[in-house]
Structures are given as C-alpha cells and as structure tokens.
Amino acid sequence: MENLVRHTAELTGTELREIRALLDGAFDGDFADEDFEHALGGMHALVRNAGGDLVAHGSVVMRRVVHRERALRTGYVEAVAVRADARRRGLGGQVMARLEQVVAGAYALGALSASEEGAGLYLGRGWAVWPGEVGALTPYGPVRLPEEEGSTYVWAPPGGIRLDPAGRLDFDWRDGDVL
C-alpha cells in the first residue's frame, strides 16, 4: 500500500476525478458537488493498493470555529472514505492517522461530522462527540444547528486547546451542508 499526503494544488485532474469517483462509490451516489467542494483546498491523505488504485481518501481543510468569543483555526476533516472491497483492513485508520498529523501540526482543534456508520472509527481514535450546542455563523448572524448536535466530533491535538462544553461551537458559513 502507498500512503501519501498532498495538498489539493498538487493533485492532477486525473487524481481529482479518482477521488470523486471513490467518494461517489463509497457514499452510494449520495455525495453532492458541494460535499466535494468542501473537501478541497487542504491536505489529502490518499491510500493506493499495490496495483496503484485509489482505495481510501480523506482531507482536512481550514475552518474557523468560534468558541467562547475566540476564533479557533480548526482542521475540519472531510470526505473520509474507503472503497467497499477494501474495508475492514485498517485503511480508514491510516487515513485518519495522517490527517491527525496535519491537524496536530497546523491547527488548534480538529472537527468533523460523522455518520452513524463512521462514528466508531473516530471514537476509537480519541475523537469525542461534542456534548454542547453547535451553530453556524450565517450571513444573517449566528444560528443554532440542533440537527448537527450528536454528530459533531472534536479532537484536540496533544497539548492543544481545552474547550468548555458549556460553550457553543459556531462554524464558519459555507454553501451546502454547513457541517
């Protein structure tokens, strides 16, 4: 297996199409253009099998999260997927290990939104469900997102910031799904 970390700017058009195809397959066609857009502009962890085929991917992009009147530089994990025929072999963990290195080296906090199917991967790696309120800084002002509560996970790098669970996490605005 080949395991690489590269910035979006270093990926070729062919690689971007490979990533999109992997994501479309892994999410059974439920991966919108906005979802793909959210995964771009940061660092990508790519895992290729011995034949050179892309079998796992994840990315981390920079977002701002306001917590207790502080804007935190946050590494937001996006588009973590493993090809169906390569699952249950630790590839998701390999992807997350590389993304966590990026978060630890560049951000005050890691965050992501997880499906029920993916939650075990993140919990097993020390990510925690955010116990408090979650919101977004919309063009119309801060708005609470109760539907995102319970599926938003955070990870503080060793020696990183300590969050107050009584405080809300307000994520910067973006088109499509905010989280």
Question: Whole-structure pTM over 0.75, yes or no?
Answer: yes
* Residue 93 included in any domain: yes
Cα-only R_g, the chain:
16
* Residue 177 included in any domain: no
* Residue 66 included in any domain: yes
* Residue 178 included in any domain: no
Per-residue pLDDT of the chain (179 residues; tens, 9 = 90+): 678 999 999 999 999 999 999 999 999 988 999 999 999 999 999 999 999 999 999 999 999 999 999 999 999 999 999 999 999 999 999 999 999 999 999 999 999 999 888 899 999 999 999 999 999 999 999 999 999 999 999 999 888 889 999 999 999 999 888 88
Q: pLDDT, tens digit, for every residue of 88-112?
A: 999 999 999 999 999 999 999 999 9
Residue ranges making up the domain that contains 162: 2-172
Contact 71, 83 (CB under 8 A): no
Residue bearing tokens 């962890």: 45
Q: What is the DSSP string of 24-39?
A: HHHTTT---HHHHHHT
- Number of folded domains that form the chain: 1
Element (H, E) at 98: helix 91-106
* Residue 7 included in any domain: yes
Q: What is the CATH number of the domain that holds 101?
A: 3.40.630.30
* Residue 92 included in any domain: yes
* Residue 123 included in any domain: yes
* Residue 10 included in any domain: yes
Beta partners for 76?
Answer: 61, 111
Distance CA 68, CA 20 (A): 36
pLDDT at 158: 84
Residue 122, classed as helix, strand or coil, is helix
pLDDT at 93: 96
pLDDT at 176: 87
Pull the structure tokens for residue 121. 């991967």
